[in-house]
Amino acid sequence: MTRWRSEVLLEVKDLQVFYGRIQAIRGISFSVAEGEIVTLIGANGAGKTTTMKTMSGVRPVAAGSVRFDGKDITKMASHKRVELGIGQAPEGRGIFPGMTVRENLDMGMYLRKDRKSGAAAADLERVLILFPRLRERINQAGGSMSGGEQQMLAIARALMGRPRLLLLDEPSMGLAPMLINQIFRIISEINAQGTTVLLVEQNAAKALKIATRAYVLESGEIVKTGKGSDLLNDSAVRDAYLGGK
Amino acid sequence: MVRHFRPFYVAVRARPFKHRSCMNFTNFINTFWANTISGLSLGAIYALIALGYTLVYGVLRLINFANSEVFMLGTFGSLAALWILGVPSAGAPKAGIALLGTLALMLVLSILFSGGAAILLELLAYRPLRRRNSPRLVFLISAIGASLAIAEAVGAFGARKREEYPFGRVWNTRKNLFKISDFDVQVRHVMVIGGALIMMSGLALFVNKTRLGRGMRAVAQDAETARILGVNVDHVILITFAVGGVMAGGAAFLYALFFEATRYNAGFLLGVKAFTAAVLGGIGNITGALVGGLLLGLIENWGAGLFGGQWKDVIAFAVLVLVLMVRPTGLFGETLGRSRA
């Protein structure tokens, strides 16, 4: 687990989000401090992905505020948020099927001005060390890769933008258990290298193990919060999300 | 409307049928090279216009029906260039720098007219609808409305009659260059096919090698993910309209050289054909637009040689229907709605 630093990087206050007339998020507040891995866990339909989409500006906010690094970004356009340092590996991975792995990774640097510099090459090398599989497939079309490889590519692509905050939406979804362990190990490693992570997961057991802090989301509301290790031992959480025991 | 194609028919018209057979193989063989070269020339123009449909469809899943009027305005760009230079009255430069300058101004004005029209269309007819989250049907109606409005506005402006380009005095584009079999290939054939290939290569470089081009492909493949990665989607859409407009402008310039006349509804039939070419190749796919355009030009001209010129359009659309029955996504189309741009 990383150092606990006090600088708040992302601060969400009383957030409300609607889909038409249906309220998906009912006034949630949470924060992510620099250096942390914070996870939002919850069942299907609890509002996890909606929250993520709001963070990246793809879904509009009905009420409440989102601050990043002290700046109000509640109504900011997506591409400006990327410029500020919010990177995301979206739910369903969002790989461009007709682009090669290399082109997908380049898309991660879309807004970087130093795309052709040594720094960009070094970043590419860094993610390829993190995900050796991607090096083997560098010229293969994104659409032809397996689910696990696509997930690695999605995370690697987000890292290519050198985000200060990395949003990961269900990185374990649809993957084999061995791959899931690998992905979570890599998330810890990315965090250890200095990237703050906000992780949304259905696989609560795995997420709580690597998380600094966690929030439990239920029907669009936060019902519980605490340190990852504490929630892992919380009997209510165990019953609801860890399959009892 | 068909009048615009007349100069082109004259070159390939079949001899009157002497027998009752519906297919005339002798004529097909005799006119094969004429029809091939003419088909490729017209097909190259189809292909350039088809790109406007296919690019916009790629990023917006919208058929921009007004693309045919974007093209038509481009043909008036070339005409305006000739007016500005005073060619009709003052006689004309015949060769060298003066000729190149004339051609350059025609091309530039065609591209400015078409590109500008495409950008205005996006800003006035489509973007406001996107802001309001309008349903798809509304976009389609807006497209058709814009198409008719532009054509009729040009017509009302006084160009309802056929406008001849006083171009013959500048440069004889019908000069024979060389023979293939016994068909004389003219300057205009080489200009149109060569010009279209140059524009296509430029587009391929733009789409595959530049950052904006990559952004376009990203929006076409997955708009939401593109946004998450920092692509300004509205900006990319505007660029896409502009690029489609530039291609239509290039097509308009080549059309001006080839037919030396235009009219307020010059875009209509050509637009339908170009759209057909885009669908034939697989809408949303750039290579598809090129192949679809050339193929459609060839098929309808070969068909005209075989069945007679009056069957040209019938054959073109019959082939389209047949191809779509076998391959609903077009020749180069991938699974529906996931086409590459």
As for the ipTM of the complex, it is 0.90
Three-class secondary structure of residue A39 per DSSP: strand
Instruction: Specify the number of domains making up chain A.
Output: 2
Structure-token pair, residue B262: 């235009």
Q: Are residues A173 and A198 in the same domain?
A: yes
**pLDDT at position B164:** 79
Size of interface A-B (CB pairs under 8 A): 63
Residue A241: name the closest of A213, A207, A210 by CA.
A207
Q: Which residues contact A215 (CB under 8 A, 6 or more apart)?
A: A28, A30, A38, A39, A40, A41, A222, A224, A225
Cα–Cα distances (Å) from B222 to A92, A145, A173, B228, in that order, read 12, 17, 19, 10
Cα–Cα distances (Å) from A152 to A139, B223, B225, in that order, read 15, 20, 15
**pLDDT at position B194:** 94
Q: Where are the domains of chain B?
A: 47-281
Cβ distance of B232 and A79 shorter than 8 Å: yes
What is this structure's pTM?
0.87
Q: Are residues A168 and A157 in the same domain?
A: no
Exposed e or buried b for every residue in A187-225, given b needs 16+ CB within 10 A? bbebbeeebbbbbbbbbbebbbebbbbbbbbbebebebe
Tell me which residue has tokens 């593109």.
B226
Which of B208, B224, B229 should we substitute to test contact with A (largest number of A Cβ atoms within 10 Å)? Answer: B229
Q: Are residues A174 and A241 in the same domain?
A: yes
A185 lies in some domain: no
A186 lies in some domain: no
Q: Per-residue confidence at B166, pLDDT binned at 50, 70, 90?
A: confident
A229 lies in some domain: yes
Cβ distance of A161 and B229 shorter than 8 Å: yes
A225 lies in some domain: yes
Find the domain containing A117 and state its range.
94-162
d(CA B196, CA B253): 10
A188 lies in some domain: no
Min Cα distance B327 → chain A (Å) is: 20
pLDDT digits (tens, 9 = 90+) for B114-132: 999 999 999 999 999 999 9
Q: Out of A57, A77, A107, name the one closest to residue B229 (CB).
A: A107
pLDDT digits (tens, 9 = 90+) for B182-222: 888 888 899 999 999 999 999 999 998 999 999 999 999 99
Q: Are residues A71 and A23 in the same domain?
A: yes
Q: Which amino acid is at B235?
A: H
A205 lies in some domain: yes
Tell me which residue has tokens 């003052």.
B90
Burial of residue B38 (number of CB atoms within 10 Å: 0-12, 13-18, 19+):
buried
Q: Are residues A143 and A169 in the same domain?
A: no
Contacts of B214 in chain A (CB under 8 A): 99, 103, 106-107, 110
Other CB atoms within 10 A of residue B66 CB: 29
Q: Are residues A41 and A73 in the same domain?
A: yes
Is residue B13 predicted with pLDDT exceeding 70? no
Q: Per-residue confidence at B27, pLDDT binned at 50, 70, 90?
A: confident
Structure-token pair, residue A35: 């250096």
Min Cα distance A191 → chain B (Å) is: 20
Q: Are residues A33 and A110 in the same domain?
A: no
Q: Are residues A172 and A235 in the same domain?
A: yes
DSSP state for residue A140 in the 8-state scheme = S
Which CATH number does the domain housing residue A35 bear?
A: 3.40.50.300
Cβ distance of A79 and B227 shorter than 8 Å: yes
Cβ distance of B222 and A94 shorter than 8 Å: yes
Q: Are residues A134 and A78 in the same domain?
A: no
d(CA B41, CA B32): 14
Which residue in B has a C-alpha nearest to residue A142's C-alpha?
B221
Cβ distance of A79 and B217 shorter than 8 Å: no
